Structure 1
Amino acid sequence: MASVDECRQALQELAARLDRNAETVRERVDLDRTLACRITDLDTAFHGRLTGGRLIDLTDGDDPKAKIALNTSSDDLVALVRGDLDIGRAVASRRVSIKANPFDLMKLRKLL
């Protein structure tokens, strides 16, 4: 099981990757939504905002009103960010769940 710090680091790496490619990401997916990432096995969460192709304001804690919510285990989060776990397969096998409105899910698919 990955630690809270490892999950935080994985999300910071994801944010940095999106930041480096913000122009390309923004062209593919132009969203401005709050995002919560809930780590089921650690009973912890992180939240931020996906806007302009970037993940910003990433901080500890849940946002129950987040427009997009990702639920997963700590190991699966780290594997997703590293590219060791395919998001499509993870969702299909219910290792990861993403809650969002249908239009946002269609936009997010372009990222995945």
Structure 2
Amino acid sequence: MANVEECRAALRGLAARLAEMDPQARDRHTIDRTLDCRVRDLGVVFSARLRNGRLEDIHDHPQEDAGPAQVRFTVNSDDLLALVDGRLSFAGAWATGRMKIEASVMDLLRLRRLL
């Protein structure tokens, strides 16, 4: 089981990769949403803002302190690390139940293209 710091580092790494994307490619998938990533086995939620193709304002807090978010992911810590480093696909994690997503269909399509 991964720990909170490893999950935080993985999400910051994802944010760095998104920031390095070609600006034109990033602009094609512009979406502005609040995100929550609930890590079941750690009892923590990472909240962030996806704005102009960039993942910003990443912070964590206990699950009971989670506020409203437009997009919610629920995943185990090891699966979060596998998703971020590419060992597990977004679609594969969702299709097999390893990741649960609460979002509109349009948001899902946009996120799939971006991530």
Which category of TM-score, normalised to the shorter sequence, fits these structures?
over 0.9
Aligned-CA RMSD value: 1.3
Q: Is residue 68–residue 98 contact of structure 1 (8 Å, CA) maintained in 2? A: yes
* Contact persistence 1:22–1:52 (CA under 8 A): no
User: What's the counterpart of residue 49 of structure 2?
Assistant: 49
Kindly indicate whether residue 92 of structure 2 is the aligned counterpart of residue 83 of structure 1. Answer: no
* Structure 1: gaps (5+ residues): none
- Cα deviations across residues 41-80 of structure 1 (Å, max 9, x unaligned)? 1111110100111000111125431101111000000011
Q: TM-score, normalised by structure 2?
A: 0.90
Instruction: Decide whether aligned partners of structure 1 residues 45 and 22 sit closer, same or farther in structure 2, where only a CA change above 3 A counts.
Output: farther
1:68 corresponds to: 71
- Shift of the alpha carbon at 1:22? 5.9
Contact 2:2 2:78 (8 Å CA) reproduced: yes
Superposed counterparts of 1:1-112, under 5 Å: 1-21=1-21, 23=23, 24-27=25-28, 29-61=29-61, 63-112=66-115
Structure 1 window deviating more from structure 2 (32-41 vs 102-111): it is: 102-111
Give 1:26 deviation, angstroms.
2.4
The ranges of structure 1 where at least 4 consecutive aligned residues each deviate by more than 4 angstroms after the TM superposition are none
Q: Report the Cα distance in structure 2 between the residues aligned to 1:84 and 1:70, rounded to whole angstroms.
A: 18
How many residue pairs match? The answer is 111
1:111 shift after superposition: 2.2
| Consecutive unaligned residues in structure 2, runs of 5 or more | none
